[in-house]
């Protein structure tokens, strides 16, 4: 019981330390990025300042157009009898005060409804990755519905006939279907991602070479966070292949090389004794470290293979820790780990004996036999056939002579 509690405490402390390490790393990366982006920020602020200056100048020219350009221009811009733009704005807003108040109330109600719906959906989808995934999709759907309804109410408050717009939705839907095919594809792909359960919020996945945790799944995009300050948004229709690393423990495969001079059975015995210590030192392992056998031979020594499993978020750090622990175990037990070396030998002596006459003759004879060409038979097919017939006749005569001799010997 005490051992179990100690292991749980160790795991919790490891997770807490890991989260703090990620936060510090993310903060440092953000600081570095901000330092790199300082020139860009300065240019951005300059552009914003120029835009503000131009817009302010244009507004003042319009407001005081009568004083600057005269009555003729002022009557065209502001209207007859209006001294400046502030009076024109006052008349405009005084006539449309109810519409403005209604618009502000609709926007406030819409923001409150979005906040309440997001809170309720988050509270009801806390447990399980699947619930969080569905909750993310529901929040996105509710947000778009509230925004569309709010726009309809605002247009009605400003005197726009929303009924005629709704009546023309058939043509509008056709136009949207032709012009927004990519949007429809994104929405349909997002629904399939959720219902087919390719991945869930919190899973570690790889999409187009980018590895990260699923932060949210919306109607149009999926957001991935690699916990290094980078967040990537991918439209749902562009997700064609996905590698989900969180559905099962990840296999870590490690190779280690030992010298040919070492006794392999001794090395294996030493590792068997060291494995319990290594497994105890790494609580993030799902399955303990095991020895897989000899994986091959290289120029330096025998290649040994090791395997273990852990969660996707730990696999890179666990691989580094395993390499360190195995190396320390081999060094502690005086097992030689080979490395690249350059060996320089003395050159061969220059005064070597020469070939004798007999050895030269034998060498020439041997090479002449190798270079000798085969004899080419230049006889025609008819001549070869005649020779074959003659050979057959000779064989027949020889057989007859042998039979006569055999008959004579039997008579005698």
Question: How would you list the strands of the sheet with 285-297, edge to edge?
Answer: 250-259, 301-310, 285-297
SS3 content of the chain, % helix, strand, coil (to 5): 65, 15, 25
- Rounded Cα distance between 63 and 57, Å, is 10
Residue 39 pLDDT > 80, yes or no? no
Q: List, for residues 153-205, the tens digit of each pLDDT value.
A: 888 777 777 777 666 666 666 666 666 677 777 777 777 777 777 787 878 88
pLDDT of residue 327: 93
Q: Coil, strand, or helix at residue 351?
A: coil
Q: Beta-carbon neighbour count of residue 258 at 10 Å?
A: 22
Instruction: Give yes or no for a contact between 201 and 212, defined as CB atoms under 8 angstroms apart.
Output: no
* CA 224 to the chain's CA centroid: 11
DSSP lists the bridge partners of residue 254 as 306
pLDDT of residue 105: 87
pLDDT of residue 99: 76
Q: What is the mean pLDDT of the chain?
A: 77
Q: List, for residues 85-140, the tens digit of each pLDDT value.
A: 667 666 666 666 777 778 888 888 888 888 888 888 888 877 766 677 777 778 87
pLDDT of residue 12: 47
Closest CA to 304 of 274, 342, 343, 341: 274
DSSP lists the bridge partners of residue 216 as 223
Domain 250-332 classified CATH 3.30.70.100? yes
Residue 398 pLDDT > 90, yes or no? no
pLDDT of residue 129: 64
Residue 27 pLDDT > 60, yes or no? no
- Span 299-303, average pLDDT: 88
* CA 307 to the chain's CA centroid: 23
Q: Beta-carbon neighbour count of residue 14 at 10 Å?
A: 14
Closest CA to 367 of 353, 376, 355: 355
Q: List, for residues 120-130, the tens digit of each pLDDT value.
A: 888 887 776 66
Between the CA of residue 48 and those of 42, 59, 219, 408, what are the distances in Å? 10, 16, 33, 132
pLDDT confidence band for 412 (50 / 70 / 90): low
Residue 76 pLDDT > 80, yes or no? no
DSSP lists the bridge partners of residue 213 as 204, 225
Residue 328 pLDDT > 90, yes or no? yes
What residues have CB less than 8 Å from 137, skipping those under 6 apart?
190, 191, 194, 217, 218, 219
pLDDT confidence band for 236 (50 / 70 / 90): confident
Closest CA to 156 of 105, 116, 114, 222: 105
Residue 374 pLDDT > 50, yes or no? yes
Closest CA to 186 of 219, 234, 137: 219
- Rounded Cα distance between 229 and 31, Å, is 10
Q: 22-36, 59-73, 330-344, 360-374: which range is least confident on average? A: 22-36
pLDDT confidence band for 3 (50 / 70 / 90): very low
Residue 32 pLDDT > 50, yes or no? no
pTM > 0.85:
no
- Rounded Cα distance between 326 and 318, Å, is 12
Q: 72-76, 122-126, 202-206, 388-392: which range is least confident on average? A: 72-76
Burial grade of 263 (CB within 10 A; 0-12, 13-18, 19 or more): exposed
Share of the chain above pLDDT 70, in %: 77
pLDDT of residue 155: 80
What backbone phi and psi angles, to 5 degrees, belong to 140? -65, -40
pLDDT of residue 306: 93
pLDDT of residue 62: 73
pLDDT of residue 79: 67
Question: How would you list the strands of the sheet with 221-225, edge to edge?
Answer: 231-235, 221-225, 210-217, 204-207, 243-244
pLDDT confidence band for 14 (50 / 70 / 90): very low
Residue 410 pLDDT > 50, yes or no? yes
- Rounded Cα distance between 287 and 292, Å, is 14
């Amino acid at each position: 019981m005490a051992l179990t509690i100690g292991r749980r405490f160790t795991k919790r402390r490891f997770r807490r330390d890991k989260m703090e390490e990620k936060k510090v790393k993310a903060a440092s990366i953000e600081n570095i990025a901000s330092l790199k982006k300082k020139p860009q920020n300065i240019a951005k602020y300059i552009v914003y300042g120029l835009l503000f200056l131009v817009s302010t100048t244009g507004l003042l020219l319009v407001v005081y157009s009568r004083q600057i350009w005269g009555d003729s221009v002022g009557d065209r811009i502001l209207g007859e009898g209006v001294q400046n733009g502030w009076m024109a704005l006052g008349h405009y807003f005084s006539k449309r005060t109810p519409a403005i108040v209604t618009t502000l109330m609709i926007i406030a109600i819409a923001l409150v409804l979005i906040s309440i719906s997001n809170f309720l959906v988050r509270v009801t989808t806390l447990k399980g990755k699947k619930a969080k995934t569905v909750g993310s999709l529901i929040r996105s759907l509710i947000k778009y519905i509230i925004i569309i309804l709010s726009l309809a109410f605002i247009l009605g408050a400003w005197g726009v006939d929303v009924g005629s717009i709704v009546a023309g939705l058939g043509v509008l839907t056709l136009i949207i279907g032709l012009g927004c095919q990519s949007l429809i594809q994104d929405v349909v792909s997002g629904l399939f991602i959720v219902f087919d359960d390719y991945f869930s919020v919190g899973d570690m996945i790889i999409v187009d070479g980018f590895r990260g945790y699923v932060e949210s799944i919306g109607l149009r995009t999926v957001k991935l966070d690699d916990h290094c300050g980078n967040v990537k948004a991918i439209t749902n229709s562009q997700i064609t292949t996905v590698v989900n690393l969180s559905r099962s423990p990840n296999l870590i495969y490690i190779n280690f090389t030992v010298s040919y001079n070492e006794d392999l059975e001794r090395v294996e015995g030493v590792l068997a004794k060291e494995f319990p210590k290594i497994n105890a030192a790494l609580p993030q392992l799902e399955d303990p470290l095991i020895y897989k056998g000899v994986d091959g031979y290289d120029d330096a020594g025998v290649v040994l293979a090791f395997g273990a499993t852990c969660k996707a978020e730990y696999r890179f750090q666990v691989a580094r820790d395993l390499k360190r622990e195995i190396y320390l175990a081999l060094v502690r037990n005086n097992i030689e780990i080979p490395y690249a070396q350059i060996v320089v030998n003395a050159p061969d002596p220059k005064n070597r004996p020469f070939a004798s006459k007999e050895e030269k003759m034998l060498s020439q004879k041997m090479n002449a036999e190798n270079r000798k060409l085969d004899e080419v038979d230049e006889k025609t097919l008819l001549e070869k056939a005649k020779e074959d017939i003659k050979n057959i006749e000779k064989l027949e005569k020889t057989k007859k002579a042998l039979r006569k001799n055999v008959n004579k010997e039997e008579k005698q």
